[in-house]
């Protein structure tokens, strides 16, 4: 199955999901990745790396707060 990178629009066969914006990104769009615990793998894209608040959260090995809408 062929996917499309949501950042650079290239066709990809394997993707990772950025933990800070939720986009499917290819390997060339990944700025950095790390394992914060044995079960949590953090990935940050190049666009989120330019946002200082998201970069601080990544360096402190924190996941972003998920905001859920109450209806």
Token digits of residue 34: 């790390």
pLDDT, position 69: 53
Burial class from Cβ neighbours inside 10 Å (0-12, 13-18, 19+) for residue 58 reads buried
Q: pTM for this structure?
A: 0.82
Domains of the chain: 3-59 (3.30.40)
Q: Which secondary structure element, helix H or strand E, spans residue 69, and what is its range?
A: none
pLDDT tens digits, residue range 49-69?
999 999 999 999 988 776 545
Task: List the beta bridge partners of residue 24.
Answer: 17
Q: Which residue has the tokens 């949501």?
A: 6
pLDDT tens digits, residue range 7-22?
999 999 999 999 999 9
Give Cα separations from 71 to 64, 65, 68 (angstroms).
22, 19, 10
């Amino acid at each position: 199955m062929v996917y499309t990178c949501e950042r650079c629009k290239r066709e990809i066969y394997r993707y990772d999901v950025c933990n800070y914006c939720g986009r499917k990104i290819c390997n060339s769009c990944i700025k950095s990745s790390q394992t914060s615990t044995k079960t949590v793998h953090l990935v940050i894209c190049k666009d989120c790396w330019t946002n200082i608040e998201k970069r601080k959260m990544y360096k402190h090995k924190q996941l972003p707060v998920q905001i859920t809408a109450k209806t």
